[in-house]
Amino acid sequence: MAFPDGEHRSVCRICHGGCAARLTVAGGRVTRVRPWPGSPFSLGRMCVKGLSTPDLMYHPDRLVRPQKRVGPRGSGKFVPVSWDEALADIAARLDGFRRETGPESVALGQGTGRHHYFHVIRFANTFGTPNWYEPGLANCFIPRITVSNLTYGGFVAGDYYGEVPPKTILFWGHNPLVSGPDGELAFPVKRALAGGAYGIAVDPRRSETARRCGLWLPLRPGTDAALALSMIRAIIEEGWYDKEFVATHTTGFDDLRARVAGCTPAWAEAVTGVPARDMLEAARRYALDKPSILDWGVAIEQNPNSLQTVRAVALLRGLTGNLDVPGGDVFGHDLVAAYPVLRQALPPDALGKRIGADRFKLLGGFRAFMPSAHIPGLFHAMRTGDPYRVRALLLFGNNPLATVANARGVYEALRALDLLVVADHFLTPTAALADYVLPSAFWPEIDQLIELPLVAPQAVFAHRKVATVGECRQNELILSDLARRLGLPGADESLTDILDQRLKPIGLTFDALADRFMVRAEPAYRRYADKGFRTPSRKVELSCKALSRLGYDPLPSFAEPPESPVSAPGVAADFPLVLTTGARRPEYFHSDGRQSPRLRARRPDPLAELGVKTAAKFGIADGDWIRVKSPRGAIRMRAKVSQDIMEGVVSIDHGWWFPERGSFDFGAFESNANVLTSDAPPYDPAFGSYQLRGLLCAVEKE
């Protein structure tokens, strides 16, 4: 297919944000990527990742033809094959597994928030397997979505785009100037702070966002719930809560007040390390200097007390009335219909076979927002056959060897599979273990709808394909082709049919929206005034009855992380520092982008950030190569000695591997944060979340 030369409007999806872009096409190639000035969300700006798109799209190592493994698993020996040969064999083998050991013996995985997200779920449902995953879910986003739904009936996002600017922004475990897990973009956040909004950052690092804030609360990783509970107590006891809103629109206030009675500022300071005066100032400003946005991130979900940590933070919005008001946190609009994932095609008995569903009701059970498998349990089943053998794994834009906890265990699980299929842009450490590697389309090569912000959308964009590279295919089309070969329900429905179906509520087709590019909802606030909130009580549930019915505590609480200086003093004797993983850098999205010369020149090495006093204690200077060790292993990182991190804490980048190595594993274990993490219990009882932050570690100079 020939694409016309010239400029084309598009939406960058190099991460799961959505900055509006102008793509220059010449001779069928994307030659330049620039920001489109007309977006109210990206404000005519783009980050360096998006601007580097041509580097990656036309990189000489880009996968452009299907590849079939011909050597031993992990040898990296592949030969090119046709799409028909690859998909015919994959479909035949999947059909065999389905007949021999049941559809649940096939699992699917995918990368964070990608365009194919719901199509992967659709394929899983129609194939009959309940076992699909996305690398976060239990530890990223699902706790915040589910808690928001249970507490106030829907997910909310900061109103950075309206006519009333926020006066206060509380950034909790979140660095949106570098990474926006909820689809909010850095540029409106910068505008709000530059326009006079007072920023408060809860983070052990003085991150890029925290450096623009008036107040920084460096807390010991894993103690967020203690800080939130103490802030709740202060807001209540000091009378800073919105009395009219609480009286009219909440339930459970007295129970909450009793629960936090002992969470004094002095108690919180002893637990978290945050000075009581700073906690009180943060609570006062957030509650009184309104409208306020609470911009939260994944840090509060990555612990075995995920449910109650997220609940504690979420209740701050309800107490202060900063919900669905101009300049506060607002609900999204149902502009388009939900993606037709064909959940009804999943056999009724499949729920009981979903790995983890029996233990984690809000991750894999019937009350889950997007029911999925528990990742530790799924990889355990691949390794051991317990509770049954998972024989095949299909991955779309996912590199679990670099991005999932317990990297060594992931490696063993992948090697134990009968069939591993990876669709990606490059041969990653995970893809090097595959039986088939399929070349995925890059974001300028796809058709899809993009809603912004993620989950609480205010607008929908048409994302139109403008180029193709080699034989690369959009992942949705790969899945649809497999579905047709397997005779699955809905297989004859084209992607255009699906997109047109989603756009029916606004009376447009995909082609018509592509001509307009974007439809934005009319601003609407305080929608709860007439009909209440979308909860059983029609109110904000400070004490949540639905949680009580499911057997969980209806009120938030703090639990010390299982591996910490407090709970594991014996381990701390050998590993005296506190480790926080997952630091984001502006050049990379998870494990993506290390091939780009432009990005790699800016960020060539994996970093471990530690304080000046901490570094001096261990004889480490800025720029030294060091070993970071945990009870599970050791990795190699370059030291970044900084005054912008809490002393005694080590923060490490995640997602690192080395494409330039060319060996079978690309150095996948050398600087991989997940060599240091564990996916072992204890787990959060509702979501199955596990500890990725606040772990214990030691450092030494090489």
Q: Are residues 124 and 161 in the same domain?
A: no
On whether the CB atoms of residues 63 and 425 are closer than 8 A, the answer is yes
pLDDT at 399 over 90: yes
Q: Closest Cα partner for 576 from 633, 517, 647? A: 647
Distance CA 593, CA 585 (A): 11
In a domain, 115, yes or no: yes
Q: Are residues 577 and 655 in the same domain?
A: yes
In a domain, 505, yes or no: no
Q: Which domain holds residue 12?
A: 6-57
Distance CA 183, CA 654 (A): 20
Q: What is the mean pLDDT of residues 659-674?
A: 91
Q: Closest Cα partner for 463 from 478, 441, 480? A: 441
Distance CA 98, CA 106 (A): 8
Residue after which a domain boundary falls, among 310, 331, 352: 331
Identity of the highest mean pLDDT range in 70-79, 453-462, 528-537: 528-537
pLDDT tens-digit map of 309-321 = 999 999 999 999 9
pLDDT tens-digit map of 590-628 = 999 999 999 999 999 999 999 999 999 999 999 999 999
Q: Which CATH number do you get for residue 416?
A: 3.40.50.740
Distance CA 669, CA 421 (A): 21
Distance CA 405, CA 589 (A): 17
pLDDT at 193 over 80: yes
State residue 125's pLDDT score: 98
Q: Phi and psi of 616, rounded to 5°?
A: -60, -40
pLDDT tens-digit map of 165-180 = 999 999 999 999 998 7
State residue 2's pLDDT score: 64
- At residue 31's C-alpha, the angle toward residues 26 and 36, to 5°, is 105
In a domain, 144, yes or no: no
Report the number of distinct structural domains present in the chain.
Answer: 4
Q: Are residues 40 and 76 in the same domain?
A: no
State residue 137's pLDDT score: 85
Q: Are residues 12 and 76 in the same domain?
A: no
CA distances (Å), origin 14, targets 115, 311, 632: 10, 31, 32
Q: What is the mean pLDDT of residues 647-653?
A: 98
Helices 407-415 & 375-384 angle (0-180, nearest 10): 50
Q: Which CATH number do you get for residue 240?
A: 3.40.228.10
Q: For all residues of the chain together, what is the average pLDDT?
A: 96
Could you tell me the two tokens for 476?
């949705």
Q: Are residues 598 and 480 in the same domain?
A: no
Q: Are residues 179 and 323 in the same domain?
A: yes
pLDDT at 181 over 80: no
pLDDT at 183 over 70: no
> Could you tell me which residues are beta bridge partners of residue 110?
396
CA dihedral 498, 504, 510, 515 (to 10 degrees): -170
In a domain, 511, yes or no: no
- 106-115, 265-274, 530-539, 623-632: which range is least confident on average? 106-115
Q: Phi and psi of 173, rounded to 5°?
A: 55, 40
pLDDT tens-digit map of 490-519 = 999 999 999 999 999 999 999 999 999 999
pLDDT at 50 over 80: yes
On whether the CB atoms of residues 144 and 301 are closer than 8 A, the answer is yes
Q: Are residues 647 and 598 in the same domain?
A: yes
Could you tell me the two tokens for 580?
């926080």
pLDDT at 459 over 70: yes
Residue after which a domain boundary falls, among 302, 331, 360: 331
Confidence of residue 17 (pLDDT cuts 50, 70, 90): confident
Q: Are residues 302 and 167 in the same domain?
A: yes
Q: Closest Cα partner for 121 from 342, 440, 403, 395? A: 342
pLDDT tens-digit map of 680-700 = 999 999 999 999 999 999 999
In a domain, 541, yes or no: no
Distance CA 657, CA 374 (A): 25
Q: Are residues 326 and 343 in the same domain?
A: no
Distance CA 546, CA 527 (A): 22
Contacts of 513 by beta carbon, 8 Å cutoff, 6+ apart: 449, 460, 461, 462, 503, 519
Could you tell me the two tokens for 617?
């204690």
pLDDT at 369 over 90: no
Q: Which CATH number do you get for residue 45?
A: 2.20.25.90
Question: Residue 263: helix, strand or coil by DSSP?
Answer: coil
Q: Which CATH number do you get for residue 659?
A: 2.40.40.20
pLDDT at 97 over 70: yes
Q: Phi and psi of 36, rounded to 5°?
A: -90, 130
State residue 313's pLDDT score: 99
pLDDT tens-digit map of 128-147 = 999 999 987 899 899 999 99
pLDDT at 238 over 70: yes
* Amino acid code (one letter) for 505: P
Q: Are residues 382 and 243 in the same domain?
A: no
Question: Residue 406: helix, strand or coil by DSSP?
Answer: coil
Residue after which a domain boundary falls, among 331, 362, 384: 331
Q: What is the mean pLDDT of residues 535-557?
A: 97
pLDDT at 345 over 70: yes
Confidence of residue 1 (pLDDT cuts 50, 70, 90): low
Q: Are residues 481 and 352 in the same domain?
A: yes
pLDDT at 34 over 70: yes
In a domain, 527, yes or no: no
Q: Are residues 407 and 319 in the same domain?
A: no
CA distances (Å), origin 491, targets 421, 495, 501: 20, 10, 15
Confidence of residue 155 (pLDDT cuts 50, 70, 90): very high
State residue 456's pLDDT score: 86
In a domain, 525, yes or no: no
Q: Give the number of other Cβ atoms within 10 Å of residue 277's Cβ.
A: 10
In a domain, 356, yes or no: yes
